């Protein structure tokens, strides 16, 4: 016997799959205005920076991070893994509801450059469909695991590819003090910072960096907002590492 809840989920998934078949994922039908992306808010003067978090969500650490970001009124971008979405659906809905951007980091953290077309679509499109069923949208940017890709990856992406320009390699030592000082020494207007929201030390790093950069006058925006602020439209299959001022 299939419960009504399961039937609803199956129905939502079917609708999402139909919607995906009908429309291209990207680019947007029309360039989004800064006001639309920022929710009608006034645009403060820069500098701007985008915090991005890979490999989550993880309930304990991602919840602590979302709490800290909310206290500071700061938005970020999360490139999530499909198998970590399972069981953390409420966390994803919280992220979306609080204005954070959610992107694709494959279903099982695979090196996209090593996959044939079938496996590529299983890794990327399945995650896209899972997120679409959960969040009711399908315009997710892509971050390839390890930043590894090739021309086939770009051709198959059906999404802008977002890399990074500041990387403290937080996975290597879980040392908040070292990570914070590296980021604060490196960061410039338009940078995209890479962290992982699956380590407690990285959450501490992120929140300390937020406090320090807010004090320096930086504004934290999602990657999508950064494009809008720079007046640039993200394109399918194109690779972006940072969005400095012109
Ligand atoms: Ni990763």
pLDDT band at 33 (very low <50, low <70, confident <90, very high): low
Is the residue at 194 inside a domain? yes
Is residue 222 in a domain? Answer: yes
Count of positions (residues) in the chain = 246
In the reported structure, the alpha carbon of residue 174 is separated from the centroid of ligand 1 by a whole-number distance in angstroms of 15
CATH number at residue 41: 3.20.20.370
DSSP code, position 147: G
In a domain, 138, yes or no: yes
Q: Are strands 191-196 and 48-54 parallel, antiparallel or unpaired?
A: parallel
Q: Is residue 93 part of a domain?
A: yes
Tokens matching residue 226: 């950064």
Range in 7-21, 94-108, 121-135, 154-168 the model is least confident about = 7-21
* Residue 245 domain flag: no
The closest alpha carbon to 179, from 159, 198, 195, belongs to 195
Residue 19 scores a pLDDT above 70: no
Give the pLDDT confidence of 215-245 residue by residue, as tens digits.
999 999 999 999 988 989 999 999 999 999 9
Rg of the chain on CA atoms, in Å = 18
215 in a structural domain:
yes
42 CA distance to ligand 1 middle (Å) = 34
Closest CA to 142 of 54, 93, 191, 79: 79
- pLDDT at 20 (0 to 100): 42
209: pLDDT strictly greater than 50 = yes
**Cα-to-centroid distance, 44 and ligand 1 (Å):** 32
Query: 246 lies in a domain?
Result: no
**Greater pLDDT, 58 or 32:** 58
**pLDDT of res. 27:** 44
Ligand 1: centre distance to CA 85 (Å):
14
Active site residues: 54, 196
Whole-number Å distance, alpha carbon 1 to ligand 1 midpoint, is 38
Tell me the average pLDDT of the chain: 88
The structure's pTM equals 0.86
Total tally of structural domains belonging to the chain: 1
Residue 17 lies in a domain: yes
Could you give the C-alpha distances from 18 to 21, 23, 24, in angstroms and in order? 5, 9, 12
Q: 46 lies in which domain range?
A: 4-240
Predicted confidence (pLDDT) per residue in 173-199, tens digit = 999 999 999 999 999 999 999 999 999
Cα of 213 to ligand 1 centre, how many Å? 25
């Amino acid at each position: 016997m299939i419960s009504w809840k399961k039937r609803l989920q199956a129905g939502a998934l079917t609708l999402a799959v139909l919607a995906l078949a009908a429309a291209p994922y990207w680019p947007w039908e029309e360039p989004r205005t800064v006001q639309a992306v920022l929710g009608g808010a006034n645009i403060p003067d820069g500098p701007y920076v985008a915090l991005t978090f890979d490999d989550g969500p993880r309930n304990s650490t991602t919840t602590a991070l979302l709490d800290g970001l909310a206290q500071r009124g700061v938005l970020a971008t999360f490139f999530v893994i499909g198998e970590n979405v399972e069981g953390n659906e409420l966390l994803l809905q919280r992220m979306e509801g609080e204005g954070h951007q959610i992107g694709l980091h494959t279903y099982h953290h695979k090196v996209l450059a090593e996959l044939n077309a079938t496996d590529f679509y299983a890794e990327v499109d399945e995650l896209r469909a899972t997120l679409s069923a959960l969040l009711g949208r399908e315009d997710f940017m892509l971050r390839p695991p390890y930043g590894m890709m090739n021309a086939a990856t770009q051709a198959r992406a059906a999404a802008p590819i977002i890399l990074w320009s500041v990387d403290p390699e937080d996975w290597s030592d879980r040392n908040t003090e070292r990570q914070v000082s590296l980021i604060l020494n490196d960061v410039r207007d338009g940078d995209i910072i890479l962290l992982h929201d699956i380590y407690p030390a990285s959450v501490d790093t992120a929140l300390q960096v937020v406090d320090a950069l807010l004090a320096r006058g930086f504004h934290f925006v999602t990657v999508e907002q950064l494009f809008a602020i720079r007046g640039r439209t993200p394109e399918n299959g194109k690779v972006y590492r940072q969005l400095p001022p012109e």
